[in-house]
Structures are given as structure tokens and as C-alpha cells.
Amino acid sequence: MVPLHSYLILGGILFAIGMFGALTRRHAIGILMSIELMFNAANLSFVAFSRYLPESALRGQVFAIFVITVAAAEAAVGLAIVLGLYRNFKTVNVDEINLMKW
């Protein structure tokens, strides 16, 4: 049986990788993909807790379903924003979109 700590540490590693991508990618869609990685890492921890702590009574899995729902909504709106950015600026690199930067 794999101990609970292994799942949680794997979730932590995936979260850190996703966060690094979200902070450093120049491509706007790359940032969105990194954010999806972070969602997945959080979900992994939720599901692992819900499996290993018996009194949780599947609350972790239900919460993970809601996280997936919100992630889908976020992806749809985020990609629509990326399309709008490309239409107005002809680029999707977020560090070239600095109209409001002083």
C-alpha cells in the first residue's frame, strides 16, 4: 500500500512545477496550461485525503468535482481572453502586452 505522504508530496511537486510555469512562461496559453497543472495537483491531494482519512466520507472527491467544474469554466473564459488579446495586439506573449505598464 502506498503511504498517504507519497501522494501528497507528488501533489506538492506538481504544484511547484505548475507555479514555476505560471510565473515564467511568456506564452499566454502556456500560463493557462500551468494553471491547469496546479489545479490537478490540488485535486490529487483532495482525492488522496478522501481515500486515506475514513471520516472524510468522500467530501474530498466531491470537492474535486467542483474544482474540475471551475477549471473548465476558467479555461473557456481564459482562452476567449487570449483570442481577444491576439485580435487586438497580434501577439500572445504576455510580456509584450504592456499598454498599462508605466
Residues forming contacts to other proteins in the complex (CB under 8 A) are 1-2, 4-10, 12-21, 23-27, 29-30, 32-34, 36-37, 40, 43-44, 47-48, 50-55, 58, 61-62, 64-66, 68-77, 79-84, 86-87, 92, 94-95
CB of 41 vs other proteins, minimal distance in Å: 9
Sign of CA dihedral 37, 43, 45, 47: negative
Note the Cα 26 to chain centre separation in Å: 16
What letter does residue 27 receive in the DSSP assignment? B
Residue 92 backbone class (left: φ over 0; alpha: ψ -120 to 50; beta: rest): alpha
CB of 55 vs other proteins, minimal distance in Å: 7
What letter does residue 14 receive in the DSSP assignment? H
Q: Take residue 95 and report the three cell numbers written for it.
A: 510580456
CB of 30 vs other proteins, minimal distance in Å: 6
Please identify, using beta-carbon distances, which residue of 3 and 99 lies nearer to other proteins: 3
CB of 102 vs other proteins, minimal distance in Å: 18
